[in-house]
Amino acid sequence: MLASRRQVLVGAAVVLASGCDPGRDPAPPTARATPTPTDRLLAAAAARERSLLAAYDEVLARHPDLAVRLSPYRADHAAHLLAVEPAAVVSATVAPSARRTPPREQARLRARLRALEEQAAETYARAAAGAPPGHATLLASLAACEASHAELL
Amino acid sequence: MTPSQVLVGLLEAEHAAVWAYGLLGARLADEELEQARAAHDAHRRSRDALVPLVRDAGKEPPAPPVAYDVRVADRAQALALAVDLEDGLAVRWRDLVGATEDVALRRLGVSGLTGCAARAARWRSLAGVRPTTVAFPGDPDRSARP
């Protein structure tokens, strides 16, 4: 009885999981068409913004005192992710703390984030050059925003 | 808007920026004056790059007016004007990206937009305006946070 209930639950979980996977979703055949270049462009941008968010979160988790300075940049990335993937879920940011990160360590962390922002700005700028008009302006704004982060980091 | 209309509007706005940075530099010192000089140079370069492009697009490049009706009384007004100039130009450079499929013009547009966004952020930082960056430079509608 217990085992069979577990099997049912596991089975339901598998169905739910496969239902969440757009690659295996059997439901609407039209939605399963081959991704267009625009789909791929937006998916790449979403992956990039997730990775930038993760980089900020990694720093903020260990150095919450840097939140005052870094959280606004993180908020920009959260807005970017939602612009390229409206259904994305973005976690809340870390609260500032009184702990002091030594200046040299701060400089090292900022340099790392700056390099990531510069790389993202260059990638978006290249993508904007060849994108369809509506997306070109969005990608250009993303490039410019990441460059402004790099400028101030 | 056609690319040629955007290019003409950009050239007029870059003329204004070159003039304005000459004016507001007089109210700034030290790091801020250095930043104003660098911005002045950047806008002169943009202006000079736009002149032949406007001509290539079949339009007569507009000459700068003799003066503009702008007054800058102190440092705070100078910094506020610098932020407004860069934010306004960012919109025009972004418009260029949207108005053309020509790769070279697109690149120029992205580069112009990026320069304006970086300078606007630097000016906001110097002026103590927070947040210093906007999520979608050149796109005020999308950048407005709830």
Reading phi first (left if > 0) and then psi (alpha if -120 to 50, else beta), residue B30 is in left
CA distance A88 to A21: 14
Closest CA to B1 of B113, B104, B141, B100: B100
Per residue in B4-40, pLDDT (tens digit) is 999 999 999 999 999 999 999 999 999 999 999 999 9
Q: Which CATH architecture has domain B3-127?
A: Up-down Bundle (1.20)
| Contact at CB, B145 and A79, closer than 8 angstroms | yes
With an 8 Å Cβ cutoff, is B71 touching chain A? no
Chain B (106-125) residues lying within 8 Å, Cβ to Cβ, of chain A: 106-107, 109-111, 113-114, 116-118, 120-122, 125
Per residue in B43-82, pLDDT (tens digit) is 999 999 999 999 999 999 999 988 888 899 999 999 999 9
The predicted complex's ipTM stands at: 0.94
CA distance B7 to B59: 9
Of B94, B114, B117, the CB nearest to A137: B94
- Å between B22 CA and nearest CA of chain A: 23
CA distance B21 to B34: 11
In chain B, where the domains are located: 3-127
B/e letters for A43-67, b = 16+ CB within 10 Å, e = fewer, are: eebbebbeebbebbeebbeebbebb
Task: Check whether B42 has a pLDDT greater than 50.
Answer: yes
